[in-house]
Amino acid sequence: MEIQHGNIFSIPSAGESPPEYFQSIVETPELLIERIITTDQFKAPGQWYDQEKDEWVILIRGEAELEFEGGKVIKLIQGDFVLINAHHKHRLKQVSTLPDCVWLAIHGNLK
């Protein structure tokens, strides 16, 4: 296996990065660990995330509001985490722009 090395806080240049940038760190059929960066280009989305697997996510930098179908909103600050069950629809309602949000997410059967 090749050694992977990087910095969780390195932000791709604006020309390379969409409003939300996803980078797989570890990916197997059972597990996905990814880094997510939500940049200052982010606008409130019109679509819900509806994922096949559970997701545990921690906000490493920034502030955000995570909205769930049905209206529940969780305000997250640096260090907060949440476990989202598979098919529990959710979306980012708001994110900080200075600094950009940096997340670490783990997807799998986490129950």
Is 11 part of any domain? no
In a domain, 25, yes or no: yes
Position 10 in a domain: no
pLDDT at 45 > cutoff 80: no
Specify if 61 maps to a domain: yes
CA atoms of 99 and 65, how far apart (whole Å) = 15
CATH of the domain at 69: 2.60.120.10
- Mean pLDDT lowest among 28-32, 46-50, 72-76: 46-50
Determine, yes or no, domain membership for 7.
Answer: no
Asked if residue 37 is part of any domain, the answer here is yes
Q: Model's pTM, two decimal places?
A: 0.86
In the chain, which ranges are E strands? 20-27, 31-38, 54-61, 63-68, 73-77, 81-84, 90-95, 101-108
Parent domain of 72: 20-45+53-108
